[in-house]
Structure 1
Amino acid sequence: MHLKDTTTGEVMKALTELLHEVGGTSSLALNLVALTTEDEREEVEQAASQASQEHPYRLILAIPRDTEAAEPRIDAEVTLGERLGAAEAIILRLDGPATAHLTSIVLPLLAPDVPVVTWWLLDPVRYGLEQELREFADRRITYSARATDPVASLYRRAESYVTGDTDICWTRISLWRSLIASAFDGVGQEVEKIDIKADDDDPSAQLMAAWLHTRLGVAPTVIDTEVERNSEHLPAIESVAFTMSGGETMEVERNADGQTVLRQAGLPKRRQSLQGRTLGQLLAEELRHLDPDTAYRKVLETFRVHYADRASA
């Protein structure tokens, strides 16, 4: 259902009518408020559709359009299911002052009594909406890798962190973290040195270094490396190598085709496929855990201190 130059009241009326046609109110797990551009809309819709298979939610997709317009205007599309999967969806295109008042527009559209998650691929500073997106959300999901300066963007996230913040760049390394943690089962020696071959400008690589520093008490060296990936949603990490106190080594290396090899002294090579996941799969993983991510908070603080030292060097 398309509504031109509309109001939040008319949008909710349209959604209520659509719900009545299908037999009443649907069961929702959460509200997902996504900020995007028209160019990214299709990608965001595909990811939201995939994630909604695990998490039925009300999607409110906000698209700033003509931000310089003198008069506020809201054009809306209201759908149930269809291309957006198992979700109630409200797509808002905002002109002029309507963009700057995102909170007052979104609040009346939220489903009651369920958590609110905000998610954005673009940098909300561009639209002056960073505080707006924080105000009403229980969780906030960013994707620093999409910023013009990805590591600096992650650093801003670290400086302004509040409980409930997370980043897709953290989610991208969850499989790496699981693999490395399992490799340390039965390892009794302390780690003396860690070398990470990775793209130094990849936020996931910086978070990996901070995570290892937090867990093992050793500051890794990130060796700037051009990494070939078969998915943009993979972290730009080629290998992580450990040198133990007894001189033994352990290395996890990922090839361009996604095959990961664990080399560990005294043991045969272990191989595992570590393919890139879709944006929808990464979003779905984030939405499985709506409680504050304390591990991410600790890692982000380590990154903040480490990156500040590097930036001032």
Structure 2
Amino acid sequence: MIALWDTTATEVVKALAAERHSSGGLTSGLALNLVVIVDEKGEREAEAALTHAAQQHPCRLLIVVRRDHEQTAPRLDAEIVVGGRLGPCEAVVMRVYGPLVEHAESVVMPLLAPDVPVVTCWFVPPPAHTTEDPLGAFADRRITYSARSADPVASLQGRARDYSPGDTDISWTRITYWRSLIASAFDTATAPATAVTIAAKASDPSAVLMSGWLGGRLGVVPTIVDTDVVRDSENLPAIKGVTFTLADGHEIAIDRDAEGNTLLRRTGFPDRTQTIKGRTLGELLAEELRHLDPDQPYEQALGNATGHLKPAASS
């Protein structure tokens, strides 16, 4: 580990090359560049999540920790870790101060490993325009977390207006298990759905994206019934249940209790139980990094939920 205080991007590049050489690091073994923006209070959580993700995806990890915005003079403190506490990756933790908070790309871009994709992830409220943001403009994939915005639903509206292929949101990743349960429940469906009701916290972006996804897949407009939801993790969507009314009068319902146990009820079939536990931020991020192609189901769900995009064909 190398620590540099009040340094420059040039010195960080030199120190990273020296540390890689001494540790036997090979750029050709990297799958991607992962640029993560986090505030000081979220640094510890971010490092834990990124350590988990790096174990599955060899990467050059560039963490931008935004500190004192009010400081008048720009300052950069950097910590270089190769194969250390942040897992099997090449990591640079950059703590930026003052005007450098708004111009962090000037220290990030020289550190990008060549010839591998760039993923930019905001663990803070995302910028108004991710594709125009200096840290998002050069990325092949942009991952936001709208649930951490002051107004998550308004943030989704911004994501829709600003959408570009390669965008996705952790709030979408949170409903992977729900989507799998619903898809398996419809394996025995006897008729198409005519009505869908989602019991959820209406301000939860995952519930809004669930509504958009179901609307696109089933050709109906789901109703969200605003409900208080007890969650065992921030990374679990605030969804209590989903009920489907079929054209033949049959019903499919999935309900989740506070402990994460789900009950699947289908007309004419025995009830079935399953557990949905909240995943860690690292597990959610690792899932997103498994595919770097445009996320067409997310695009369609986002468009249907907000009315800003035309539905796209997806599988």
Q: TM-score range by the shorter chain?
A: over 0.9
Note closer, same or farther for the CA distance 1:202–1:261 as it changes in structure 2 (3 Å cut). Answer: same
Taking a change above 3 Å as real, the CA distance of residues 172 and 279 of structure 1, as seen in their structure-2 partners, is same
The reply to whether residue 180 of structure 1 matches residue 150 of structure 2 is no
Aligned to 2:18: 17
Does the 8 Å CA contact 1:80/1:89 hold for their aligned counterparts?
A: yes
Tell me the residue number matched to 2:313: none
| 1:238 corresponds to which of 240, 244, 248 | 240
SS of the counterpart of 2:49?
A: helix
String of CA shifts for 1:130-169, please: whole Å, max 9, x gaps. Answer: 6112211000111111111111111111111111110000
Whole-angstrom distance in 1 between the partners of 2:175 and 2:266? 21
- Residue 267 (structure 1) aligned with residue 278 (structure 2): no
Counterpart of 2:312?
none
Aligned partner of 1:310 in structure 2 is none
Q: Distance in 1 between matches of 2:146 and 2:126?
A: 11
SS in 1 for 2:134: helix
Is the contact made by 1:198 and 1:222 (CA closer than 8 Å) also made in structure 2?
yes
Q: Is the 8 A contact 1:259 1:272 kept in 2?
A: yes
From 78, 85, 88, the equivalent of 1:83 is 85
Aligned AA (2:204): D
Sequence identity (%): 53
Q: Is the 8 A contact 2:60 2:113 kept in 1?
A: yes
Determine if the alignment matches structure 1 residue 276 to structure 2 residue 278.
yes
Are 2:60 and 1:58 aligned? Answer: yes
Hey, what's the Cα distance between the residues in 1 that align with 2:271 and 2:145? Answer: 34
Cα gap change, 1:143 to 1:130, in 2 (>3 Å): farther
SS in 1 for 2:221: coil
Count of paired positions: 307
Deviation at 1:304, TM superposition (A): 1.4
- Measured against aligned partners, the alpha-carbon deviations of 1:168-196 in whole angstroms (never above 9, x if no partner) come to 00000011001101111132311111111
Change (3 A) 1:3 1:291: same
2:252 matched residue in structure 1: 250
Once residues 24 and 189 of structure 1 are traced to their aligned partners in structure 2, the CA distance between those partners, rounded to angstroms, is 57
1:99-133 CA deviation, whole Å, 9 max, x = no partner?
Answer: 22222221110011111000112124499996112
The superposition leaves residues 188-226 of structure 1 with CA deviations (integer Å, 9 ceiling, x where unpaired) of 311111111000010000000110000001001100000
Instruction: Return the letter of the residue paired with 2:22.
Output: E
Distance in 2 of aligned mates of 1:61 and 1:103:
12
The residue identity in structure 2 corresponding to 1:15 is L
In structure 2, what residue type is equivalent to 1:111? Answer: A
CA contact (8 A) 1:100 1:127 kept: no
- Structure 1 residue 229 displacement after superposition: 1.3
Moved more, 286-295 or 18-27: 18-27
SS at match of 2:16: helix
Q: 1:126 to 1:196 in 2, by over 3 A?
A: closer
Q: Point out where structure 2 has 5 or more consecutive residues left out of the alignment.
A: 310-315
Query: Of residues 11, 30, 33 in structure 2, which corresponds to 1:31?
Result: 33
Inter-CA distance 68–81: structure 2 relative to 1 (3 Å threshold) = same
Query: SS of 2:17's equivalent?
Result: helix
Deviation at 1:16, TM superposition (A): 1.2
1: CA distance, partners of 2:181 / 2:254: 8
Question: Which residue of the partner structure matches residue 4 of structure 2?
Answer: 3
Matches within 5 A, 1:97-108: 97-108=99-110
Q: Which runs of 5+ in 1 are unaligned?
A: 308-313
Query: What is the distance in 1 between the residues matched to 2:137 and 2:211?
Result: 31
**Which segment is superposed worse, 50-59 or 98-107?**
98-107
Q: Distance in 1 between matches of 2:78 and 2:147?
A: 29
Distance 1:66 1:129, change over 3 A: farther
Relative to structure 1, is the Cα distance of residues 129 and 157 closer, same or farther in structure 2, using a 3 angstrom cutoff?
closer
- What is the SS of the residue equivalent to 1:185? helix
TM-score for both structures, normalised by structure 2:
0.93
